[in-house]
Amino acid sequence: MELYGIYSAAQAYFRTTPKDLTLAQAAYLTVLVPNAGRYFRYEEMRPLMRVLLSRMVEDGWITQAQMDAAWQEKLQPRGWQVTYDAGGNVKTAKLVDRSAKELKAVVTTRAPHFTQQVEQELVRRFGRDVVYGSGGLRVYTTLDSKVQSAVETASREATGLPPSATLAATILNPYTGEVLGMIGQKLRGSEPPAAWNNAAQGQRQIGSTIKPLLYTTALSTGLDQSHREEDRPVSFPCTGCKNGVYEPENFEGATTYRDMTIREALDRSLNLVTVRLADRIGLQTFFGKIRELGLQTNDGTGLAAALGAVETTPVKMAASYAPFVNGGLYRTPRYITRVTDARGSVLFDVNSQPVQGKRVWTPQVAWLGLDMLRGVVNDLNEAQGGLAGRAKFGEWPVAGKTGTSNGPKDFWFVGTTPLYTGSVWVGRQQGGDMPSRGYYSGYVNAPIWRRMMELAHQGQALRQFSEPPGIQYVDAPDQQFLPNVKLAVLDPNYRDAANTEVQTDAPPPTLYRETTYRPGNDPDSLLVSLDRTTNRLATEFTPPQNIVQRRVQLEDLPGYAPDESPAPLRDEQPDPEAVKAARGVTGTTQSVPPASAP
């Protein structure tokens, strides 16, 4: 490691602390300051040390007797074997181990992506001057070593990934928002992972993992799980879409051509029912809700957002699912609990600044959404079309949802137990499609999620989800499709159970139309140009075809910083269009991706 400060130097060259340095050792280190390379030429050091000690005598800092004692000390810097005569002069000096003075890095390689996020959070909260120029900080984090080990083990054991794919995974405490474990890349043996953190920096389309948020928003407007929508082809007028219409399809075109309950539609992750439901409650209602859950819609996005045409990170997806289990409260993910400076002064203590969760659902509505998520895992087995059964482990109750973006480019599983909420993303680092056959999020991601969760839960007392008052259960209609399934419904006598205030003027049920949502002036977000191949801010050297417009939260912006000194390739000139795009000189575009897979 690079050495900074007298403490590191004392440790490196003499394995002691500054207060225990002898006068001779202190003089040696002082002479090294202008040129550390002098370490390799010990004989040249001695005359310089003598000059320094003599000046200290002249200036009255030490006595002549102290100087003589220091000169006669048989100094042995780490890695050297030196012999002296009685007068303190060097007889022989041999460098026997060039690496003896080296120290192990003070920054551990354990959980590097988590540590990276801690550093960014410190800079955002206190500024670079405090973090790097105040003599050091003592930082207490939310990392749980057992949970981190569970995530890392699950990553190393994940062998069924598509070719050239990597992954990201995280586990957080749904009751506090504390990130307990994180990996941003597929771990491969003892090989250090790449620096880019897909868990907290990689903006990826979330596919059908967004559907539980839509369905729960619908429940909050007064609908229940037995509400029906048509699973039939539908077309929406759409400016900017191919042939002027938006025509979503179910995954692989499978359509039942019947009305079905939204409980069954979520179990089967049907797109046609989902877009009809989104159109029914209105995009303003839906987008307003997912923004409360920490997710950011892209400008110009329409109904395709209900199928997952929204980009975010695994950490934020886990945080958006936490309200299902904690009674309806959203908390921003956090990595730090306490910070003190070098003098011990407290700069931050979460206990003195408790995080008050923002209510996004009532406890009853959150439970209804959780009940639907439990259904995705438990209602249907694989033979019946179940998508998430591979996430189950032991006796622990599990609720979660798979997701696949168009291509497929991204595989997801986001889920929760009564103890932890977590997410797993799988995809190619540089983007691009993965094989369309033989790989599915239920087969790839769910087992990874299960493995990290079963390891994290080892030794924990079994718990159940905490059900609020005001909930009743009824048999699901259409038992031939959902055998032995019971639906959670609101007790009609329980007042204020549904937060119907989120409902806006919904369109008539038979009126379908594609709309766009454009947020107003949001002071907390910014429209930026990203390089789609690196997920970092575009520069003047980014090819125009690689530039995409994305809206990101200001607090996340440092994570998208480009290379500090990007340079063009040999004989390459910046493209004028790329320069304009990188500086944000572009018009607002409207893009509606094709349908998402389950």
355: which residues sit within 8 A by CB, 6+ positions away?
Answer: 176, 177, 331, 332, 334
DSSP conformational letter for 61: S
The H or E element that residue 264 is part of is helix 262-268
Rounded to 5 degrees, φ, ψ at 501 are: -65, -15
Give the pLDDT score at 585: 41
**Which residues have a Cβ under 8 Å from the Cβ of 571 and sit 6 or more positions away?**
none
pTM of the model: 0.71
Which residues, in sequence order, are bridge partners of residue 165?
428
- The closest alpha carbon to 277, from 290, 260, 291, 294, belongs to 260
In the numeric block, which tokens belong to residue 390? 């591979």
> Distance of alpha carbon 255 from its chain centroid, rounded?
35
Cα dihedral sign, 84-89-92-98: positive
* Helix, strand, coil percent content, the chain, rounded in steps of 5: 35, 20, 45
Per residue in 375-401, pLDDT (tens digit) is 999 999 888 888 899 999 999 999 999
Task: Determine contact, residues 111/182, Cβ cutoff 8 Å.
Answer: yes
3-state class of 278 per DSSP? helix
Specify whether the CB–CB gap between 449 and 459 falls below 8 A: no
Tens of each residue's pLDDT in the chain, 598 residues: 445 578 888 888 999 888 899 999 999 999 998 888 899 999 999 999 999 999 999 999 999 999 999 999 999 999 999 999 999 999 999 999 988 888 765 444 678 899 999 998 999 889 888 888 777 889 999 999 999 999 999 999 998 899 999 999 999 999 999 999 999 999 887 677 788 899 998 889 999 999 999 999 999 998 999 999 999 999 988 877 788 888 999 987 789 999 999 999 999 999 999 999 999 999 889 999 999 999 988 766 789 999 998 999 999 999 999 999 999 999 999 999 999 988 889 999 988 876 678 999 999 999 999 999 999 999 998 888 888 999 999 999 999 999 999 889 999 999 999 999 999 999 998 888 888 788 889 999 999 999 999 999 999 999 999 999 999 999 999 999 999 999 999 988 775 555 544 333 333 333 333 333 344 445 566 777 877 666 678 776 777 777 777 767 666 676 677 755 554 444 444 456 655 555 554 333 333 344 455 6
pLDDT at residue 564 in the model: 55
Quote the pLDDT of residue 489.
Answer: 94
Look at residue 60 in the predicted model and tell me its pLDDT. Answer: 95
Instruction: Please count the other Cβ atoms lying within 10 Å of the Cβ belonging to residue 363.
Output: 20
Q: 399 and 174 in contact (C-beta within 8 Å)?
A: no
Q: 493: which 2 tokens?
A: 């006598």
Using an 8 Å Cβ cutoff, are 332 and 319 in contact?
yes
Residue 550 CB coordination number (10 Å): 19
pLDDT of residue 357: 87
Run of H or E including 245: strand 245-246
**pLDDT score, position 438:** 81
- The residue assigned the tokens 């996430």 is 391
